[in-house]
Structure 1
Amino acid sequence: MTAFLATGGRVLTPASRDATALAHENGLIVWAGSDTPGPALFPDAERIDLEGDWVAPAFVELLPERLDLTAAASRGVVPADLPAAHAPESVEERVRAGQRVVLGPDEDPTQFAAELTRLAAELGGPAVARCIPVLVGGAGVIDDDTLASLAAVGTVIVLRPLVDDLTGTDLVRIAASGVALAASMRVGDEVRPWDTLRALTSVDGGRGLSPRAAFIATTRGARRAAGARDGMAGTLTPGAPATFARWETGQLAVVAADDAVQRWSTDPRSGVPPMPDLTGPDPVLHALVVDGLPADPAV
């Protein structure tokens, strides 16, 4: 398969905070860095001029049932396969069988944590963690002890900020507990990724995530909830699937949140990758690539 080299943009990748270029081949990211060495490293690659666009991992929707996937792709969103929620009484059976464990929003997180802890004591923590336990919703009612128990066995909490009332929820506390966060962008029969990021970063009466943490929840966190274990899925790390979106944005900025205020900065010395300013209009999607191939030639 032809290698592709894209230059002249702004690339969100763990490989480099200041990356302006990336290359992919055979459906995988193979390099990310600055424009200058790219042509020498990939002399036979098909060249793409990003024209200053921001390139980032594609958004991932965990609850895609009955969604119009073409419409989702037009918003930079790709589906993932999160198993359907099951009854809480089947948790032990599924863990012993090495199957995925997913509980829905109406279940008690404290009981879920207690059952996972009991199974970890009996079977070993890795046996439970391999099932990647997922709890959909319910983040606002979880105490610190329950969070610690869930984190110890690799649980992922799937937030639904456009559906659930997160008023007063301390997402910073939950993220700091070690529990992985993912987020669904779905509301009704559509997905609204940028509204999801705004909701996660501006929780009324609580502490919202930083834009970077919110973005991770809708990309890498969602891939983790769907079963990825390699730590690369949902990023633009060399070796990861070449699934990304290309956006026209305004100036990128860095935000650091404390208990009461979010301060925006464009200072590169912060060391935090800059993100689109969520106080502005939605970025415009110019292209979506899935496993190295254009997902929709119309965008």
Structure 2
Amino acid sequence: MTAFLATGGRVLTPASRDATALAHENGLIVWAGSDAPGPALFPGAERVDLEGDWVAPAFAECLPEGLGLAAAAARGVVPAALPSAHGLDGIEDRVRAGERVVLDADVDPAQLAAELTRLAGEVGGPAVARCIPVLVGGTATRNTDDTTLAALAAVGTVILLRPLVDDLAGTDIVRIAASGVALAASTRVGDEVRPWDALRALTSVEGGRGLSPRAAFTATTRGARRAAGARDGTAGTLTPGTPATFARWQTGELAVVAADDAVQRWSTDPRSGVPPMPDLTGPDPVLRALLVDGLPAGTTA
């Protein structure tokens, strides 16, 4: 497959905070950095001018049942299928068989924590963590105490937030994240996906503490991939060696949001060290392209 070198943009990648270019080949990201060395590193690559666009991992939706894939792709969202949810009944059999554990929204987090802790004592914590327990929204975000959160974190639990479905008013999502529990987030409401509205909901929790835009974006990309079963820690990022699944967005000036007590302030100061993001107080960025494994969405190799 032909190598592609895209330059002249703004690239969100762990490889470089100031990346303006990236290259992909055979469906994988192979490099990200500044424009200057790209042509020498990839002399035979097909060139793409990003025209200042922002390139970032595609949003991943792990509740894809009944989702129109073409409509999702048009919003920069790709499916990352999560197994069907279930209750606490049968969880022991699933763990002992090494199967995925996905819990319904009405499961009591304290009961789940107690059961997973018991199983960890019998089969080992790593065996439970390999099942990537996922607790879907609902009660997981309401009044879960620190002891329960710590117990869930100890066995690798992921809490899947549904910001466009569940009432997050008064929720301290920052406290949940600080407990060590991995966070994922759905961009879905009904039969459609609204990724930028999901980010706004996660960052502006009424009466509570929402996530930073960067953390919210991570929950809808890398976090969603984790919930769907990825274990390598890099899925859902533009790290060299990962699938070239990313979106290209036309957006205005990127900004950094930093918390100042209870107030969030937007800044463009590069000294913050935080990767800049599209300003969520403005209009939605416009999707220019979506690539899945290096190919335009909807095509196959």
Q: TM-score range by the shorter chain?
A: over 0.9
CA distance in 2, matches of 1:90, 1:261: 45
* TM-score normalised per structure 1: 0.98
Q: Secondary structure in 2 aligned to 1:209?
A: coil
Counterpart of 2:277 (choices 275, 279, 284) is 275
1:35-82 residue CA offsets vs partner (Å, 9 max, x unmatched): 000000000000000000000000001111111110100000000110
1:118-157 to structure 2, matched below 5 A, reads: 118-137=118-137, 138=139, 139-157=141-159
CA distance in 2, matches of 1:219, 1:173: 20
Q: Secondary structure in 2 aligned to 1:126?
A: helix
CA distance in 1, matches of 2:205, 2:259: 12
Structure 1 gaps of 5+ residues are none
Runs of 4+ in 1 over 3 A off after TM superposition: none
Q: In the alignment, which residue of structure 2 is the partner of 1:176? A: 178
Q: Which amino acid in 1 is paired with 2:49? A: D
1:164-195 residue CA offsets vs partner (Å, 9 max, x unmatched): 00000000000111100001111111000000
**Aligned Cα root-mean-square deviation (Å):** 0.9
2:27 equivalent to 1:27: yes
Q: Secondary structure in 2 aligned to 1:100?
A: coil
Deviation at 1:257, TM superposition (A): 2.1
1:217-256 to structure 2, matched below 5 A, reads: 217-256=219-258
CA distance in 2, matches of 1:296, 1:48: 20
1:1-299 to structure 2, matched below 5 A, reads: 1-137=1-137, 138=139, 139-296=141-298
* TM-score normalised per structure 2: 0.97
Using the TM superposition, name which of 81-90 and 272-281 deviates more: 81-90
CA distance in 1, matches of 2:177, 2:265: 19
Give identity over the alignment, percent: 84
1:74-121 residue CA offsets vs partner (Å, 9 max, x unmatched): 000000110001221111110000000000101111100100001111
Structure 2 gaps of 5+ residues are none
Contact in 2 for aligned 1:74/1:296 (Cα 8 Å): no
CA distance in 1, matches of 2:7, 2:166: 40
Q: Secondary structure in 2 aligned to 1:141?
A: coil
Using the TM superposition, name which of 256-265 and 100-109 deviates more: 256-265
1:122-156 residue CA offsets vs partner (Å, 9 max, x unmatched): 11110100000000012123111110000001100
Q: Secondary structure in 1 aligned to 2:237?
A: coil
